Structure 1
C-alpha cells in the first residue's frame, strides 16, 4: 500500500512540475516554449488556461493527499 502511494506521489510531483511550467507567465519564459504563446494567439485561450488551472489544482490536491496518507502510514 505504501509503495502504491509513493508511486502516486512521484507521478503527481512530476505532473505538478510540468503543469506549473505550462502556465502563462508574465514575461513568457518556459510557458512559451511549451506552447503557452501558441495557444494565446487563439480567441479561446481563456478556456485552455481555465482547464490548466483546474488540472493543476486537482493535481495539487492529489499530491497533498498522498503526503498526508504517507505521513499517517509511516508514523511510528
Structure 2
C-alpha cells in the first residue's frame, strides 16, 4: 500500500526578503523529515489572490434554489 502525506503552510509575507526568511525556516523544520523519509519533497509556490472584482457570483439555477418549475397544464 502507498500513502501520501501533504502538509500545507500558507504564510503572509510583506516582501521577497520576508518570504525567503519563511522558506529558510520551513526548510530547517523539514530537515528531520528528510532524514527519515529521503524521498520526501518540499516545494514552494506563490499564491496569487484574485481581485474582488474578478470573483464571479455563483449561478442561481432553479435546480439548486429550491424553486419549483412552473408547468402549463
Query: TM-score, normalized by length of structure 1?
Result: 0.31
Between structure 1 and structure 2, the one with the greater Rg is: 2
Structure that is richer in helix per residue: 1
The structure whose RCO (Cα within 8 Å, separation 6+) is larger is 1
Query: TM-score, normalized by length of structure 2?
Result: 0.31
